Amino acid sequence: MTTSRRSPRRPTVLHNPTRRRLTLALSLAAGGSHWLGGPLAQAAELPPLPHYTQPVEANSPLVGRILQAGQQFIPPQQVLDDCAHAALCMLGEQHDHPDHHAVQAWIVAALAQRGTLAALALEMADAGLRFDGPRDAPEAVVRERLHWNEDGWPWTLYAAPVMAAVRAGAPVAGVNLPQAGMRPAMRQARWDASVPPAVRQRIQGDVAESHCGLLPASQLPAMARIQFARDDSMAAHSLALTRPGKTVALLTGSFHANRTLGIALHLAAHAARTPPGVPRPLTVFSLQLQGLAPDTQAELPEGYDAVWFTPGTPPIDHCAELRQRMKGKQMP
């Protein structure tokens, strides 16, 4: 069981560009800039917020705004406080969005500056891989220790948040299911019961959509099991990193960070791994980083405690890319 920092209300459906990434297995503007010079920011001596770089809806009044439950806009300091008061802070990203990784780097650096960063957990590295210093290590050494997969996770996107933790002397640990465990998971029916039936059906539908309808229906349960097994791995290994009075920041896709669908559903199964002194049930804060689309509404998506709006990335026809990759290949 997990304890949320807030209980968000049910929203209208939003454009969600992260769903397309299931196949991968800040100067504030428009009313938000006054936060930077406010007394909260000055008192906390926060690191400077990065500039946004993406073009889609870059002039929207929502750019840089952060919405929490109750339709309340909050400053970055409040997000940082909520993150710091949770044992696990999930930073749900669109994997290919540079601005999302810049925001993550800001949060990681700010937590480290406050002395509350227990560790940085990564979906992008396998469980069992870890970097524990030194804090002045070159990036190449960090990548080598983490067995970084450049093809799946371009380092240029992740260097800033990862190195912010390294320079602060915080552990950086992989928490994802290793590749060798994915095919066995497809055959393990026990994963079907690891989530409620409605969630299982939802995940299977999202797997079908993210694969552009190219997967046979018979393969959807097996593909969904990989998702459940990955969430379970990230839950277990993130929980093991927690420390009393500190926060584990987890970089993961926004779908995994959704408390009603992803990692949070698996935490209770690993409660025995909770380190001594860490309160139970585990406190969890989930932030969605949302790239704007023309039809995005100012609503908090279900399953998150807050949403941070950024400009969106240019549209890409991922289905065309997937069709090209699958051409001439037999699916497992």
Give per-residue pLDDT as tens, 68-97.
999 999 999 999 999 999 999 999 999 999
pLDDT for residue 25 is more than 50: no
| Average pLDDT over every residue of 1-14 | 39
Q: What is the pLDDT of residue 322?
A: 86
Between 293 and 29, the more confident residue is 293
pTM for the whole structure: 0.86
Of 38-52, 73-87, 124-138, 253-267, minimum mean pLDDT range: 38-52
Which parts of the chain fold into alpha helices (H)?
A: 39-44, 76-84, 98-114, 139-145, 155-167, 179-186, 197-210, 220-241, 254-257, 318-326
DSSP-derived 3-state class of residue 164? helix
- Each residue of 116-129: pLDDT tens digit? 999 999 999 999 99
Annotate 38-61 with b (16+ C-beta within 10 A) or e (fewer).
eeebeeeebeebbebebebbbebe
Give dist(CA 112, CA 167) in Å, integer: 9
Pick 289 or 273 by higher pLDDT.
Answer: 289
Distant-in-sequence, close-in-space partners of 65: CB < 8 Å, separation ≥ 6: 28, 30, 31, 32, 73, 298, 308, 309
User: What sign does the dihedral 222-200-257-284 (CA atoms) show?
Assistant: negative
pLDDT of residue 330: 53
β 72-74/66-68 pair status: antiparallel
pLDDT in tens, 209-255: 999 999 999 999 999 999 999 999 999 999 999 999 999 999 999 99
Whether the pLDDT of residue 16 is over 90: the answer is no
Nearest-angstrom CA–CA distance, 273 and 269? 9
- What pLDDT digit, counting tens, does each position of 141-176 carry? 999 999 999 999 999 999 999 999 999 999 999 999
Task: Report the pLDDT value the prediction gives residue 228, as an integer from 0 to 100.
Answer: 98
Q: Answer whether residue 31 shows pLDDT above 70.
A: no
Q: What does pLDDT average to over the chain?
A: 88
